Structure 1
Amino acid sequence: MQALRAARARLRAHREARRAWIDARPVVKTSLAVLFWLPLAACVSQYGFTVKAVYGRSMQPTLNPDDSPWRDVVLFDRFSVAYARRYERGDVVALKSPVDSKLVVKRIVALEGDVVKTLPPYPHAEVCVPQGHAWVEGDEPFRTEDSNRYGPVSLGLIKSRLAFILWPWNRMGPLGQPLAADADLRTGTPGWRRSQADRERAEWRASRVQVTPPQSPSVDNRTVHAWTAETRHAT
């Protein structure tokens, strides 16, 4: 029994000496803390959430509006895409461009099985989105390269969902579905006008999509694949 107590005392003394040695060396203490938390931070960033600034004007006025002097800083949700595989119409997502593999930000307009009315320069007035694909567009149609140029995109290219605007503080809030007009906003105020414009854009996008159950590839889908392949080859 005494031998066990002596061993515990020596172990306690060793721990205290090691702790004192580390506390006396701030650089070593900071390095050990970084080594301890770095794998967790990398895991969270890769499979959970990350914070990034958004560049470009293709998602105006939802992101980086002209009246803001700042670039939007947004919370990117990787978990809902990597594990939950949750895709919804209206979601703002980050995906790899099928043309040059650059990371771009677009909005999901239609999902597999949906029939969407396209915009120029797409060569067909309507198209049925193939299985495992989505139709994505920028909110600013004159400053975006999206599915109306390269066709439906594979869901595998979608890397994350933009969940929340963190900065600037006056535009802080959730992304995705249209903003609801705050009950405190008076009719005609700038905030009220923004919420109404956001709702009208969402209604216009929805009016172009006929939501249908998933279906097997059709002649339209084969045309989509052929045209998309031809476009990528030409690019």
Structure 2
Amino acid sequence: MKLLYRTVIALAVLFSSQVNATIIQNPVPGVYSEDIDGTGYFSVTGTSSFLTEILDIGEAFGLVGNVFGFYFEGADVTDTNNLHVVFDQTDAKNNQAVINLNNNIVIDVDNNSIQSVFTGAGDIGFFVFLPSFGNQIFFSDASLNVGGDFFGSFQNLNSPSTYALLFASPQTNGQIELTIAGPLTPIQRVSAPSVFMLLLLAGIWQLRRKSLEQLTKNNK
């Protein structure tokens, strides 16, 4: 019995070690809801989404700016042709862009020019590339990251189809990229049970079964 208890505890510790500890804090409490869990992808409501870049940590430190963009769910994100730029290193704070799904282009509103051209369809996820911080790249789909979930989505309480899209640093929990986008609809995925969680539940059930068996014997 002691061995079984130790096994269950070990599995619990192992499972908990898989959970990312990065805290995605609400950028403006009272204006946005708390982080909507399980949203790595979004559908664009209609044919276009309007985006405004609020924070670029590279630019904020006077360094080379971030690259923020999107990709279609299921695309091979190791192929940069599938990463579609919305804001590049030269875009400044409060610059705006439009993802136009009718014409498969991203429009740089401030320059009245085409930022990028893309192919594909379906739900979209977002990414941020940090050339000034070790060329790190993070995705809104946590399963594509090394180390866990570094993305939060916060619904505007007064404009329900508008979201604050926030990436946070796994080292400091600080904001590294914040973009306001809409109209969007978050797609919440129900994750398959973790192997560790299944083993943990199996161990707990085994403990309960053993306890019931012992109780039955004692009552005979």
TM-score (norm 1): 0.24
Q: Which has the higher strand share?
A: 2
Give the number of the structure with larger relative contact order, counting CA–CA contacts within 8 Å between residues 6 or more apart: 2
Q: Which has the higher helix share?
A: 1
TM-score (norm 2): 0.25
